[in-house]
């Protein structure tokens, strides 16, 4: 059967009638209306082609008679032409609108009065359709939450006159996002298409209705110009051969070439390549072009005419719409109803097929199928006597969870019943070298998420191991993980989830990664946190395979590695790991952890005073032994008072704590399960599944309640910083503590257990890092000899009269500013020191002054626990990839802060520190050298000079400081002798232990380096490297920020540029050799090649200074943070606006604005990209759709545009530089400001 063309009757308006002759709809005179208004007659006189012709149908009249009637009875009517048609009809062409209206209304009356004949005057249907389309427009992507009343209100506000508004339906009669608007005339439609639809802050693009230029074709006679309903022929013509009395699908000549009955061409009669088809199409298109009005599509940046010239954006009538969730609840309820009905139909079909298959198998093999499947269909009959006891126990539970059950029990019952048929259990045995196992395999799948599970019996109990596969185009469902967890809380889940999560080691985050993140946020499962990539294709690697487990199962997993891919499709790397089931639980931390939320500080202070009163404060301290005894007694008093007044935290890690009611429900479930297994009764089985459904619902409700508690801080009227950031850290993983899940390799030794790893790290640091390098230059021996003399001299000198005493005011000032950092080996927290008493201040004053007088620091303050952090993009198997952080005594760090202040004062008074060293100095930041480098490079670029910069990375910079070298330089700088004595004791006989997963290694002696974690270490390193740039080339500039070193220079020739840079590199290399420092890469053996971009102090510099690389770096860095803000806003639709904006400023704007001062000289397209990033972040923060007006977003958030904010930062930086007399920074910033002013002009 060939395709039909125009075989149906199109919809028509009320009042239309079919002409019995032509089938053309007619309009009576009482219902006729002019196409355009008479007020627009003068304008339409210039566009006469838009006046439609009129068809007059009347019997027994001629063309002359009609012309005579018009001239006699309608003298004001001007008719251009009258054409006679077939079937007693005439076509009249009016000269103007007034004549058109008179003919349409009065001509039938004239003919009826004078000729006594009925007539009809109407517009041709084809033109009428065109005119109707000229009044129609479509608006797409209008959310279902926007009601028709809102659209009508918006159209009324914009001043449009319309007839009706219809939301289109799809084939399933479900409303779509497309709106059809019919206006009273084409003028309103054209204006609407130009300006679009503006609903509050949302702008929608409007499109004019398209005209159908396909000609109508009768499927009987296959002629064009009419449809089958009005065809005069009763003969069916074949569209293939052109013969009669058969159709296309029954054509006997199907093997021959087709023959068109219209043009006699070799094609079927319905082909669009037919000349007759093209001829009619051309005529129809010409008619369309004659009677259509042109309208351009909406400019999305143009506001409607009501406020087109108004600077202020119109206020919202209903700004709380974004906070209203009733519409979403209604839609969700409807969707759930549809899903439930579809699921019930599906299960009904599956049950029928399952029963048929069961009957067939029973008859064929003569067996009882009911004995094979352990999960049978629940019996409809209930035995009240058997379940009376269980129901009484469940009744109490139902009362406590009644609120949540009413919301969720209906949605959870259907999936639970569906899963009963989807997994089959069987028992077999597995061989295990250490444990006897009992294997129970389960297979099930939820909406495309495939899984298979096996349960083994170990010495710790049953362990469920599940493998999951989620196809790329299928959603990752958290219900599957809940089902596995409900089967056995001790579970291990692994598989290909096709999920990438940036905060857990992937390079980016996709949709499944967010779904996996939601599973992890619920707290009952944890994942192995590493950066091992498991998928590779075309040199692209990503982590999409995951290992998840509960606590404490995850602590038994170690040595996670990937192997070489194999098989036909070599894109996934196999994951291997060790599951040490004989391992012991994680030991307690060597540092005592206190629950400060329950601290009784008043009781602590009273107890501390009582303990300190027992120490004899009048007794003087004159020897080293007395210092050790006094410090130990003081530490013991603080520790005892802390243990008495502050409870300890529970050492067991519990991510998800269940209530007593849920525990009773678990017991009820276990009791029902044992009873069912014992009796094998269908009613007992029914009770078991009911109790399991109640348990799953209760656990889900408790997880939801926990999430609401976490998010409650974002909804409070007043922001609580601690609670808010505690909630954010649940999702924004900073990875503060490094996990060591893989094996370590050092000197052909492999460490697997935590104890082995700790000792291996200790051996590495003792032999490679904290080791005194041998003297290989005569200069080294001179320094060593000089330092020995300094130590002898300071030992003989009596410094008591020269040492300024430490005052109570200094100690109080330091204690008030202490952060809540981790304690050292003595377990004394800064929070305990901040809650000091006058007695404690007196004891600290006494012991601090005794220490600086004698020049001796107690051993307990020089012992450290070292934790390790993995460096970015480093191999986790190598010990050199980790950065050691020392946890020192908090009491000792108070004295170190006082010494640091005094040393800074001496150095600033003597103007000793290098001017271009900006690291760890007051009123200096990374922007100091960033601005210097940018200004230097920009000026040389404008002069068309060659310039180059090289960045150095010093290996283990802080950890390889030469002890004798730092003492030599301190003495050479003429610092007070008591400070030098303190530093000598500070560096002497320091010890440390490596801490991994609460396990301490052997103690090692530190023979070099300053401990990272001590307040004094950065200052000592600055002093140590203060003369590193003294010998470089005079035309070479340098910048220092702690251990980040950069050299840059310029020249008019490449040869001279290379010479200057190479000579400076050689001088720096000589300095490193003299002071026992080592670069990460030996520059003597490497050819340094130029690169198009490089990162310096967090800013990406490129060779053209167009900052495209920097913008791309910012986009990548804030992508996950914007996703976090969007996630938080969706979880908290009623979140406090100020709290959310504070999160935006901290998480996103701080990244965008870092280094933005130097970007003020960039082109406008760079700032457009940065502004786009801010727009996305603000909309995500406020929970607004992406199409929300940017101006509206900035107005309600009171946030400046990013370029305006950067200009404000520039002005503040200039003011700050003037206050602190930083002339270099001030001059560079004034140059940037002058450049901006010239650009604006």
Give the whole-number percent of the chain exceeding pLDDT 70: 79
Q: Is the pLDDT of residue 475 over 90?
A: no
pLDDT at residue 710, as a whole number:
74
Query: Which of the four pLDDT bands, split at 50, 70 and 90, describes residue 100?
Result: confident
Q: Is the pLDDT of residue 471 over 50?
A: yes
Q: Which domain holds residue 1048?
A: 919-962+1008-1094
The highest-confidence range among 265-274, 423-432, 1029-1038, by mean pLDDT, is 1029-1038
Lowest-pLDDT range, 431-440, 567-576, 1007-1016? 431-440
pLDDT at residue 486, as a whole number:
78
Instruction: Please tell me whether residues 139 and 103 are part of one structural domain.
Output: no
Instruction: Please tell me whether residues 556 and 538 are part of one structural domain.
Output: yes
Give the closest residue to 755 by CA, choosing from 996, 941, 1060, 1033.
996
Q: Is the pLDDT of residue 445 over 60?
A: no
Q: Is the pLDDT of residue 512 over 90?
A: no
Q: Is the pLDDT of residue 899 over 90?
A: yes
Averaged confidence pLDDT in the chain? 78
Going from the C-alpha of 411 to that of each of 182, 221, 332, the distances in angstroms are: 42, 57, 12
pLDDT at residue 227, as a whole number:
79
Last residue of some domain: 697, 732, 767? Answer: 732
Instruction: Please tell me whether residues 1086 and 1110 are part of one structural domain.
Output: no
CA distance 659 to 643: 29
| Rounded mean pLDDT, 783-795 | 88
Residue 593 covered by a domain: no
pLDDT (tens digit, 9 = 90+) per residue, 329-387?
666 666 777 777 677 767 767 777 667 776 666 655 554 444 444 333 444 344 344 44
pLDDT at residue 44, as a whole number:
37
Going from the C-alpha of 580 to that of each of 54, 59, 466, 494, 763, the distances in angstroms are: 93, 103, 17, 16, 25
The highest-confidence range among 35-49, 579-593, 617-631, by mean pLDDT, is 617-631
Total of domains in the chain: 7
Instruction: Please tell me whether residues 81 and 146 are part of one structural domain.
Output: no
The highest-confidence range among 80-89, 463-472, 474-483, 723-732, by mean pLDDT, is 463-472
Instruction: Please tell me whether residues 1110 and 1087 are part of one structural domain.
Output: no
Query: Which of the four pLDDT bands, split at 50, 70 and 90, describes residue 201?
Result: low
pLDDT at residue 321, as a whole number:
42
Report DSSP letters for 1116-1165, one per residue. HHHHHHHHHHHHHHHH-TT--HHHHHHHHIIIIIHHHHTTTTGGGGS-HH
Instruction: Please tell me whether residues 944 and 1083 are part of one structural domain.
Output: yes
Residue 152 covered by a domain: yes
Residue 944 covered by a domain: yes
Tokens 């995850």 -> residue: 554
**What is the gyration radius of the CA atoms in the chain, in angstroms?**
42
pLDDT (tens digit, 9 = 90+) per residue, 306-324?
333 333 333 333 334 444 5
CA distance 504 to 530: 7
pTM of the model: 0.59
Q: Is the pLDDT of residue 615 over 80?
A: yes
Residue 705 covered by a domain: yes
| Tally of residues, the chain | 1241
Residue 116 covered by a domain: yes
Residue 213 covered by a domain: no
CB-CB neighbours of 38 under 10 Å: 12
pLDDT at residue 21, as a whole number:
36
Instruction: Please tell me whether residues 1063 and 1209 are part of one structural domain.
Output: no
| Rounded mean pLDDT, 610-630 | 89
| Rounded mean pLDDT, 422-439 | 34
| HSE-CB of 984 using CA atoms within 13 angstroms | 26
Lowest-pLDDT range, 49-53, 60-64, 234-238, 510-514? 49-53
**What CATH number is associated with residue 176?**
3.30.70.330
CA 40, 41, 44, 50 torsion-angle sign = positive
pLDDT at residue 796, as a whole number:
62
Quick one: CA torsion of 302, 305, 306, 308, rounded to 10 degrees? 50
Query: Which of the four pLDDT bands, split at 50, 70 and 90, describes residue 411?
Result: very low
Instruction: Please tell me whether residues 1128 and 1061 are part of one structural domain.
Output: no
Q: Is the pLDDT of residue 50 over 60?
A: no
H/E stretch holding 397: helix 384-400
Lowest-pLDDT range, 88-102, 309-323, 499-513, 621-635? 309-323
**SS3 assignment, position 622:** coil
Instruction: Please tell me whether residues 937 and 1025 are part of one structural domain.
Output: yes
Instruction: Please tell me whether residues 1063 and 1210 are part of one structural domain.
Output: no
Give the whole-number percent of the chain exceeding pLDDT 90: 22
pLDDT at residue 191, as a whole number:
82
pLDDT at residue 931, as a whole number:
92
Instruction: Please tell me whether residues 109 and 132 are part of one structural domain.
Output: no
What is the 3-class SS of 315-366, one letter each residue?
Answer: CCCCHHHHHCCHHHHHHHHHHHHHHHHHHHHHHHHHHHHHHHHHHHHHHHHC
**What CATH number is associated with residue 110?**
3.30.70.260
Residue 568 covered by a domain: yes
CA distance 1126 to 1065: 48
| Rounded mean pLDDT, 564-570 | 60
User: Bridge-partner residues for 217, per DSSP?
Assistant: 224
Last residue of some domain: 208, 238, 266? Answer: 208
Instruction: Please tell me whether residues 482 and 536 are part of one structural domain.
Output: yes
pLDDT (tens digit, 9 = 90+) per residue, 1175-1203?
999 999 998 888 888 889 999 999 999 99
Query: Which of the four pLDDT bands, split at 50, 70 and 90, describes residue 720?
Result: low
Q: Is the pLDDT of residue 295 over 50?
A: no
Lowest-pLDDT range, 576-590, 778-792, 1158-1172? 576-590
H/E stretch holding 129: helix 125-134
pLDDT: is 1000 or 735 the higher one? Answer: 1000
User: Bridge-partner residues for 896, per DSSP?
Assistant: none
Q: Cα–chain-centroid distance for residue 458?
A: 40
Query: Which of the four pLDDT bands, split at 50, 70 and 90, describes residue 716?
Result: confident
pLDDT (tens digit, 9 = 90+) per residue, 632-690?
999 999 999 999 999 887 654 445 567 888 888 888 888 888 888 888 888 888 888 88
Residue 1135 covered by a domain: yes
What is the DSSP secondary structure assignment for residue 83, as one 8-state letter? E
Last residue of some domain: 174, 208, 242? Answer: 208
pLDDT: is 1202 or 550 the higher one? Answer: 1202
What is the 3-class SS of 191-238, one letter each residue?
Answer: HHHHHCEEECCEEECEEECCCCCCCCECCCCCCECCCHHHCCCCCCEC
Say if residues 1039 and 976 touch (Cβ distance below 8 Å). no
| Rounded mean pLDDT, 202-221 | 80
pLDDT at residue 332, as a whole number:
66
H/E stretch holding 450: strand 449-458
CA distance 595 to 648: 5
């Amino acid at each position: 059967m060939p395709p039909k063309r125009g075989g149906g009757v199109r919809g028509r308006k009320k009042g239309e009638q079919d002409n019995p002759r032509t089938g053309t709809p007619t309009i009576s005179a009482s219902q006729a209306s002019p196409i355009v208004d008479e007020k627009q007659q003068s304008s339409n006189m210039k566009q006469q082609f838009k006046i439609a012709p009129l068809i007059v149908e009347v019997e027994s009249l001629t063309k002359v008679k009609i012309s005579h009637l018009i001239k006699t009875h309608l003298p004001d009517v001007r008719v251009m032409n009258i054409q006679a048609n077939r079937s007693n009809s005439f076509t009249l062409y009016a000269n103007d609108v007034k004549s058109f209206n008179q003919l349409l209304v009065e001509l039938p009356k004239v003919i009826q009065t004078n000729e006594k004949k009925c007539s009809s005057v109407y517009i041709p249907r084809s033109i009428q359709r065109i005119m109707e389309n000229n009044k129609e427009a479509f608006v797409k992507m209008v959310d279902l939450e926007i009601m028709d009343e809102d659209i009508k209100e918006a159209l009324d506000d914009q001043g449009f006159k319309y007839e009706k508004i219809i939301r289109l339906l799809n084939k399933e009669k479900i409303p779509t996002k497309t709106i059809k608007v019919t206006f009273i005339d084409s003028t309103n439609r054209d204006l609407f298409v130009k300006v679009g639809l503006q609903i509050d802050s949302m702008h929608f693009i409007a499109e004019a209705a398209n005209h159908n230029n396909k000609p109508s074709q009768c499927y009987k006679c296959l002629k064009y110009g009419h449809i089958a309903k009005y065809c005069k022929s009763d003969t069916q013509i074949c569209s293939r051969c052109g013969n009669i009395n058969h159709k296309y699908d029954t054509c006997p000549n199907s093997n021959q070439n087709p023959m068109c009955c219209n043009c006699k061409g070799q094609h079927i009669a319905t082909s669009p390549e037919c000349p007759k088809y093209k001829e009619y199409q051309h005529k129809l298109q010409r008619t369309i072009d004659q009677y259509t009005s042109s309208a351009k599509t909406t400019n999305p940046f143009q506001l409607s005419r009501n406020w087109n010239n108004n600077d202020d954006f119109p206020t919202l009538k209903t700004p709380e719409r974004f906070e209203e969730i009733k519409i979403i609840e209604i839609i969700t309820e409807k969707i759930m109803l549809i899903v439930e009905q579809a699921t019930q139909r599906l299960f009904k079909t599956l049950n029928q097929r399952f029963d048929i298959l069961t009957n067939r198998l029973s008859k064929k093999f003569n067996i009882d199928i009911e004995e094979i499947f352990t999960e049978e269909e629940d019996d409809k009959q209930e035995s009240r006597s058997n379940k009376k006891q269980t129901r009484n126990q469940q009744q109490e539970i139902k009362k406590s969870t009644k609120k949540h059950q009413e919301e969720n029990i209906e949605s959870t019952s259907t999936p639970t019943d569906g899963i009963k048929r989807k997994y089959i259990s069987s028992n077999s045995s597995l061989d295990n070298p250490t444990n006897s196992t009992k294997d129970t395999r389960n297979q099930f799948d939820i909406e495309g998420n495939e899984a298979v599970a096996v349960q083994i019996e170990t010495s710790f109990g049953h362990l469920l191991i599940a493998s999951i596969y989620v196809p790329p185009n299928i959603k990752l469902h958290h219900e599957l993980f809940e089902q596995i967890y409900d089967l056995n809380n001790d579970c291990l889940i692994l598989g290909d989830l096709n999920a990438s999560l940036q905060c857990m080691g992937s390079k980016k985050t996709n949709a499944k990664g967010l779904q996996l993140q939601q599973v992890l946020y619920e707290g009952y499962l944890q994942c192995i946190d590493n950066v091992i990539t498991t998928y590779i294709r075309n040199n692209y690697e990503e982590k999409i395979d995951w290992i998840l487990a509960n606590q404490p199962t995850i602590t038994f997993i170690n040595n996670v590695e990937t192997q070489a891919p194999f098989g036909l499709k070599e894109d996934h790397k196999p994951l291997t790991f060790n599951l040490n089931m004989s391992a012991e639980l994680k030991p307690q931390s060597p540092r005592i952890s206190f629950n400060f939320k329950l601290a009784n500080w008043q009781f602590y202070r009273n107890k501390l005073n009582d303990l300190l009163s027992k120490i004899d404060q009048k007794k003087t301290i004159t020897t080293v032994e007395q210092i050790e005894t006094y410090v130990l007694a003081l530490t013991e008093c603080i520790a005892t008072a802390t243990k008495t007044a502050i409870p300890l935290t529970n050492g067991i890690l519990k991510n998800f704590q269940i209530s007593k009611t849920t525990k009773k429900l678990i017991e009820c479930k276990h009791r029902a399960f044992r009873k069912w297994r014992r009796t094998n009764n269908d009613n007992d089985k029914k009770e078991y599944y009911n109790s399991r459904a109640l348990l799953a619902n209760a656990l889900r409700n408790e997880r939801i309640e926990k999430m609401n508690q976490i998010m409650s801080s974002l909804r409070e009227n007043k922001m609580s910083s601690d609670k808010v950031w505690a909630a954010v850290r649940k999702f924004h993983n900073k990875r503060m503590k490094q996990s060591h899940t893989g094996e370590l390799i050092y000197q052909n030794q492999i460490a697997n257990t935590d104890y082995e790893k700790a000792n291996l790290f200790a051996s590495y640091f003792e032999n490679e890092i904290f080791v005194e390098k041998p003297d290989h230059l005569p200069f080294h021996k001179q320094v060593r000899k000089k330092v020995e003399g300094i130590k002898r001299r300071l030992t003989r000198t009596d410094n008591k009269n020269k040492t300024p005493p430490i005052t109570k005011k200094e100690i109080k000032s330091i204690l008030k500013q202490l952060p809540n950092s981790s304690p050292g080996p003595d377990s004394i927290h800064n929070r305990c020191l901040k809650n000091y008493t006058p007695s404690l201040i007196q004891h600290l004053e006494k012991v601090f002054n005794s220490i600086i007088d004698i020049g001796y620091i107690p051993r307990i303050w020089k012992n450290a626990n070292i934790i390790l952090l993995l460096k970015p993009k480093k191999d986790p198997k190598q010990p050199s990839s980790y950065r050691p952080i020392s946890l020192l005594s908090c009491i000792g760090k108070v004295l170190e802060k006082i010494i640091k202040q005094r040393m800074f004062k001496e150095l600033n008074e003597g103007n000793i520190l290098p001017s271009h060293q900006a690291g760890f100095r007051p009123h200096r930041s990374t922007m100091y050298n960033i601005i210097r480098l940018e200004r230097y490079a920009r000026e040389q670029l404008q002069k068309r000079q060659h310039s180059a910069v090289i960045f150095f990375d010093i290996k283990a910079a802080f950890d390889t400081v030469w002890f004798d070298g730092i003492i030599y330089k301190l003495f050479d700088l003429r610092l007070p002798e008591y400070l030098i004595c303190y530093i000598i004791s500070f560096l002497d006989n320091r010890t440390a232990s490596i801490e991994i997963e609460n396990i301490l290694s052997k103690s090692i002696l530190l023979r070099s380096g300053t401990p990272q974690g001590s307040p004094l270490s950065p200052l000592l390193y600055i002093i140590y490297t203060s003369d590193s740039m003294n010998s470089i080339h005079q035309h070479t500039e340098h910048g220092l920020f702690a251990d980040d070193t950069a050299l840059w220079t310029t020249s008019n020739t490449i040869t001279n540029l290379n010479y200057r840079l190479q000579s400076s590199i050689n001088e720096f290399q000589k300095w490193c050799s003299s002071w026992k420092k080592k670069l990460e890469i030996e520059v003597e053996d490497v050819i340094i090649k130029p690169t198009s971009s490089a990162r310096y102090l967090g800013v990406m510099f490129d060779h053209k200074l167009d900052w495209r690389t920097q913008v791309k770096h910012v986009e990548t860095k804030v992508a996950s943070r914007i996703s976090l803000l969007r996630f938080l806003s969706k979880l908290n639709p009623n979140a406090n606006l100020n709290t959310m904006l504070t999160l935006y400023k901290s998480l996103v704007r701080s990244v965008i604005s870092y280094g933005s001062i130097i970007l003020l000289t960039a082109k406008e397209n760079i700032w457009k990209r940065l502004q786009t990033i801010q727009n996305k972040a603000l909309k995500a923060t406020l929970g607004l759709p992406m199409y929300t007006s940017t101006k509206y977003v900035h107005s309600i958030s009171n946030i400046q545009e990013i370029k305006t904010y950067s200009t404000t930062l520039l002005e503040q930086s200039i003011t700050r530089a003037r206050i602190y007399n930083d002339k270099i920074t001030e001059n560079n910033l004034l140059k940037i400001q002058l450049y901006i002013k010239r650009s604006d002009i």
